[in-house]
Amino acid sequence: MQPPATKSTVRVAVLGAGNVGGPLCRMLLDDADGIEARAGVRLELVGVAVANPSRARQGIPAHLITGDAKSLAANRSVDVVVELIGGIDPARVVIETALEAGKPVVTGNKELIAAHGAELSRAAARAGVDLLYEAAVAGAIPLVRALRDSLAGENVWRVMGIVNGTTNFILTTMAEEGVAYEEALSEAQRLGLAERDPTADVEGFDAAAKVAILAGLAFRCDFPVEDVHREGIVGLRGIDIAFADRLGYVVKLLAVAERTDIRGPGDGGDPEAGPEVSVRVHPALVPHSHPLASVRGSFNAVFVEGESCGELMLYGRGAGGAPTASAVLGDLIDAASNLSTGGPGRAVPRRTVVTRPIEDLRCAWYLNMDVLDRPGVLGAVATAFGTHGVSIRSMEQVGLGEEARLIFLTHVAREGAVRATLDDLRQLDMVEHVGGVLRVAGGDEDA
Amino acid sequence: MQPPATKSTVRVAVLGAGNVGGPLCRMLLDDADGIEARAGVRLELVGVAVANPSRARQGIPAHLITGDAKSLAANRSVDVVVELIGGIDPARVVIETALEAGKPVVTGNKELIAAHGAELSRAAARAGVDLLYEAAVAGAIPLVRALRDSLAGENVWRVMGIVNGTTNFILTTMAEEGVAYEEALSEAQRLGLAERDPTADVEGFDAAAKVAILAGLAFRCDFPVEDVHREGIVGLRGIDIAFADRLGYVVKLLAVAERTDIRGPGDGGDPEAGPEVSVRVHPALVPHSHPLASVRGSFNAVFVEGESCGELMLYGRGAGGAPTASAVLGDLIDAASNLSTGGPGRAVPRRTVVTRPIEDLRCAWYLNMDVLDRPGVLGAVATAFGTHGVSIRSMEQVGLGEEARLIFLTHVAREGAVRATLDDLRQLDMVEHVGGVLRVAGGDEDA
């Protein structure tokens, strides 16, 4: 079959030929006819910038390779620039160079977009070109486009999901194989799913960058990544995952962006005040019946809730070279099409939002503590809860010789009250140790 | 009708104020400020066409209402037309009128798009305006945009999903409450999830229209709805659902569009021949571990698989007034934005595809038959399978007094061979009755 004739070829420069850039370059080189047949746009790879140009790149002709990303981004024979260098510098200045030269930019750089997305978007708007970043969040899952375009008019009040495959693999392994955190981490490293220094994943930095971007899209604001409340999975114990399972929950590292001024359908919030939000990353108990509970291994999934759309979930490969390159390719075709129709896609309006402190968060809690097995202990513990108005939904007691382990689920309570309760409990002589302290997913409803 | 308030206001006409049009009109009237804040576009409802204009419409001012849809669609004070009348006529001629008048059209009309989408898209391209139909498939789930834009360059080889909420509710109720088809259907009718005449849903016509549209988007072709192989859920027995459950499966009405010339990653098919596809709707056994298995009640979900993107799933409310209106609103904002930037979105290229006859389909099968409990029966039955090269994966025998019930799962076999086997089995004196005959989902792999 002959590809249809097209008016023009769009010339593409790819900056970075690593995990994502490599597969993307090979798609552009090996499947240009197929892409044109499917997308109606002819993409021609005209340059590839790499840090070490003397090293041979599998499948990329040597004459396309350069070590000078900035010059390539500004080159007049390039129509669209794809940035896959990663990190803040030099990616930021290279993108600015491309935008100033009037070229649309496609990037998968979550760190840069989370930190400087607002100013880069303004630079793109000034230049009248696209800045697209579907690949920055959740790989091949078309989440950015869904929030930006499909739900453009929707009053979205919650985005909640699993956006880091490494930690989800670790948590799935701990739950299903009953192994400790360290062992599951080693397994992830052995399989290439975790870095040698896993900090960015296990401490929640990666998820925090992604949820800042999602909050910006969902609530039409610039959400500063520094304002994301972040807790990782380091120190999470197998015992709490096992107890959670018995109680009907699975433990997931959740990224949550939610309106705190809207309580459900028909509540539009206060139109005079700006949206009030809570944006956070932390491990949480997810009920077995929730669609997110069945997201296993390195898969990602994000749940979106809004006024009219109801509940939506998008699920797929959140990382990896080919899936992320697929997301870049979708954006690249968008940018190339917009070049030929003469204008960039719609910019997202930017409102001001107020971030609620984490102390104001209202949710249910799982608490696990070791106490001395003596009369009056339960009374003293229950009094500490009662003093701060934290209502107990269920309690289970497990004997441990001289000690006893108490596992509580609370009703929905303000986080500040739960913290104050924990402070009091730690003061009690008969409380030996407060172990697992985990939020239960589900926002402001009693699960 | 009033003149536009500002230059950037986009004037919208809505044709049809029923289940979807009603909620949409109220969003446009009550939340114009909110939509503008979120989407950056001012939408003004300037006219609503209904069949019976003398009837009062809740929340819609009388002066906006007209009985003449065609005149409203052509009116010069209308910028964008939303068609929610449904059915082929008069929706088709009204859309043609709007497109000829140079107005973009947003529709949720699956029947019309499945039957005449190709010619209407050509009319839109001639007029240089958008024809958008996210709401025609799977309500609020952003499936059309994902396939059209996010996966524009992707080599998609399978789209498989649950796209009819009514039948999924019936099947969920049969499975979870152990009731018969008729009872589950009555329950769906009582809850307003099924029409009094449920034919369009239970015979698979609704799903067939949707999968024809999905096949067109996924494979960049015009897929004729008449070429969809269609089997509904009428006559499905609770006993087969129960046996399937014991074997590790749940029964779902699946809509499937798949390339039959591609067997997996790295296989691009024959570039000389056009894509070869199978597009069908039928009940099927889905393994409990598959993400589609946990899609319950009236929810919809669609699984997409492709060369680079891997596995994606989109899940949500596939029907209902507000979710479908949400999808319309997303398209409406797109069309309105494209008006101000001066060009329509990208048209999908249209390739020619070859439809494989259903006899060539390769999948595993579930078969349930009642036989006389006599020596030699199993040998005769097994011989019938062997004669046609259909390999048995598992067999279970349940005694029923004089008779026995045999439940088979086959390995992957060509459908023609399975049908020939069934013909032979029905000829055997000792086979009393061939009951449930159901495909097992999973394409060409052995489950």
**Structure ipTM:** 0.90
CB contact under 8 A, A344 and B342: no
**For residue A148, what is the nearest residue in chain B, using CA coordinates?**
B39
Task: Kindly determine whether residue A140 and residue B308, on different chains, have CB atoms separated by under 8 Å.
Answer: yes
Question: Of B249, B257, B269, which is closest to residue B230 (Cα–Cα)?
Answer: B257
Can you say how many angstroms the Cα of residue B383 is from the centroid of all Cα atoms in its chain?
39
Q: Mind listing the pLDDT tens digit of every residue in chain A (447 residues)? A: 334 334 579 999 999 999 999 999 999 999 999 999 889 899 999 999 999 998 878 889 999 999 999 999 999 999 999 999 999 999 999 999 999 999 999 999 999 999 999 999 999 999 999 999 999 999 899 999 999 999 999 999 999 999 999 999 999 999 999 999 999 999 999 999 999 999 999 999 999 999 999 999 999 999 999 999 999 999 999 999 999 999 999 999 999 999 998 866 667 666 666 789 999 999 999 999 888 998 999 999 999 999 999 999 999 998 889 999 999 999 999 999 888 776 777 777 788 889 999 999 999 999 999 999 888 898 999 999 999 999 999 999 888 788 889 999 999 999 999 999 999 999 999 999 998 999 999 744 443
Does position B443 have pLDDT exceeding 90, yes or no? no
- In this prediction, residue B265 carries a pLDDT of 67
A346–chain B Cβ distance below 8 A for any pair: yes
Do the chains contact at A40 and B346, CB–CB below 8 Å? yes
Annotated active-site residue in B103, B110, B210, B252: B210
Q: What is the reported pLDDT for B124?
A: 95
Residue of B nearest to A265 (CA): B322
Partners of residue B334 in chain A, C-beta under 8 Å: 149, 152, 346
Residues A257 and A271: their CA atoms lie apart, in Å, by 19
Is A343 in Cβ contact with B310 (below 8 Å)? no
Q: What is the pLDDT of residue B5?
A: 40
For the beta carbon of residue B222, count every other beta carbon within 10 angstroms.
Answer: 18
Measured from the Cβ of residue A424, the count of other Cβ atoms closer than 10 Å reads 17
Given a cut of 80, whether residue B433 has pLDDT beyond it is: yes
Nearest-neighbour CA in chain B from A197: distance (Å): 27
Report residue B194's pLDDT band, with 50, 70 and 90 as the boundaries: very high
With CB atoms and an 8 Å threshold, state whether A313 touches B316: yes
Which among B153, B313, B334 is the nearest to A316, CB-wise? B313
Of A27, A271, A308, the CB nearest to B326: A308
- Residue in chain B closest to A132 (alpha carbons) equals B150
B110 is catalytic: no
Question: Which residues in chain B have Cβ-Cβ distances shorter than 8 Å to A316?
Answer: 309-313
B294 touches chain A (CB under 8 A): yes
CA distance B417 to chain A (A): 32
Nearest CA in chain A to B270: A1
* Alpha-helix runs per DSSP H in B101-139: 110-127
Extract the tokens encoding A423.
């402070």
Confidence of residue B410 (pLDDT cuts 50, 70, 90): very high
The distance of Cα B12 from the centroid of its chain, to the nearest Å, equals 28
Nearest CA in chain A to B307: A322
How far are the Cα atoms of B50, B163, B323, B447 from residue B249, in angstroms, in the given order? Answer: 46, 19, 30, 11
Q: Which residue is associated with the tokens 């013909």?
A: B423
Is the CB of residue B104 less than 8 Å away from at least one CB of chain A?
no
Q: Could A310 and B316 be called an inter-chain contact, meaning their C-beta atoms sit closer than 8 Å?
A: yes
CA distances B126 to B166, B350, B356, Å, are 38, 15, 32
The three-point CA angle B344-B350-B355 to 5° equals 145
DSSP annotation of A445? S
Tell whether B206 is within 8 A of chain A (Cβ).
no
On chain B, the residues whose CB falls within 8 A of the CB of A161 are none
- CA dist., res. A370 & res. A180, Å (int): 20
Q: Dihedrals φ, ψ of B156, to 5°? A: -80, 130
pLDDT of residue A6: 44
Closest chain A CA to residue B273: A1
Nearest CB among B23, B150, B322 relative to A145 is that of B150
Nearest chain A residue to B289, by CA: A294
| Whether pTM exceeds 0.95 | no
Chain A residues 10-49 with CB within 8 Å of chain B: 23, 27, 31, 33-35, 37-41, 43
Q: Residue B163 above 70 pLDDT?
A: yes
Q: Do A322 and B308 touch (CB under 8 A)?
A: yes
Using a CB-CB cut-off of 8 Å, the residues of chain A touching B149 are 142, 145, 149, 330, 333-334
Average pLDDT in the B44-59 region?
90
Look at residues B318, B142, B321 and name the one whose alpha carbon lies nearest to residue A147.
B142
Give the HSE-up count for residue A120: Cα atoms under 13 Å, Cβ half-sphere.
28
A8: contact with B, CB 8 A cutoff: no
- For the purposes of burial, counting CB atoms within 10 Å of the CB of B19, is it exposed (0-12), middle (13-18) or buried (19 or more)? middle
Residue from A134, A149, A156, A262 to probe the interface with B (highest B Cβ count within 10 Å):
A149
Q: Are B97 and B91 in contact (CB under 8 A)?
A: no
Model confidence at B7, pLDDT cuts 50, 70, 90, reads very low
**Identity at A89, one-letter amino acid code:** D
B59 touches chain A (CB under 8 A): no
Closest Cα of chain A to B377: distance in Å? 43
Least confident of A370-374, B85-89, B212-216, B443-447: B443-447
For the CA atoms of chain B, what is the radius of gyration? Answer: 24
Per-residue pLDDT averaged across B360-364, rounded?
Answer: 93
Q: What is the pLDDT of residue A59?
A: 86
**Cβ(B147)–Cβ(B157) below 8 Å:** no
pLDDT for the residue A2: 39
Residue B447 has pLDDT above 70, yes or no: no
B192 in contact with A at a CB cutoff of 8 Å?
no
**Token pair of B12, please?**
């919208």
From chain B, the residues in CB contact with A259 under 8 A are none
Chain A residues whose beta carbon lies within 8 Å of the beta carbon of residue B314: 312-315
Cβ atoms of A188 and A92 within 8 Å: the answer is no
Nearest to B141 among A312, A327, A347 (CB): A312
Beta-carbon separation of A314 and B310 below 8 A: no
B319 against A267, higher pLDDT: B319
- How many interchain CB pairs under 8 A, A with B? 222
Q: Does A339 touch chain B (CB under 8 A)?
A: no
- Give contacts of B 233-262 with A, CB under 8 A: none
For residue B337, what is the nearest residue in chain A, using CA coordinates? A346
Give burial (CB, 10 Å; 0-12/13-18/19+) of A340.
Answer: middle
Residues from chain A that touch B326, judged by Cβ atoms under 8 A, are 151, 153-154, 306, 308-309
Which residues of chain A neighbour B349 with C-beta distances below 8 Å? Answer: 4, 37-40
- Do B38 and A154 make contact, defined as CB atoms within 8 angstroms? yes
Q: Which residues contact B368 (CB under 8 A, 6 or more apart)?
A: B239, B240, B243, B405, B406, B407, B408, B434, B435, B436, B437
More confident residue, B162 or A378: B162
Q: Pick the catalytic residue: A70, A103, A110, A210?
A: A210
Q: Tell me if B153 and A333 make a contact (CB, 8 A cut-off).
A: yes
- Are B352 and B395 in contact by the 8 Å Cβ rule? The answer is no
By Cβ distance, the residue of B34, B268, B308 closest to A268 is B34
Task: Give whichever of A36-40, B29-33, B159-163 has the largest mean pLDDT.
Answer: B159-163
Q: Which of A243-252, B145-154, B230-239, B257-266 has the lowest average pLDDT?
A: B257-266
* Closest chain B residue to the Cα of A344, Cα to Cα: B341
Contact between B293 and B286 (Cβ < 8 Å): yes
Cβ-based neighbours of B232, under 8 Å, separated by 6 or more: B167, B202, B203, B204, B253, B281, B283
Task: Classify residue A419 by burial, with Cβ atoms within 10 Å: 0-12, 13-18, 19+.
Answer: middle
Q: Which residue among A23, A325, A330 places its CB closest to the CB of B150?
A: A330
Binary contact (B142, A140; C-beta < 8 A): no
Question: Closest by alpha carbon to A361, among A279, A240, A254, A252?
Answer: A279
Q: A326 vs B151: CB contact, 8 Å cut-off?
A: yes
Give helix B205-219 / helix B110-127 axis angle, nearest 10°: 30
Give A342's contacts in chain B (Cβ within 8 Å).
Answer: 341-343
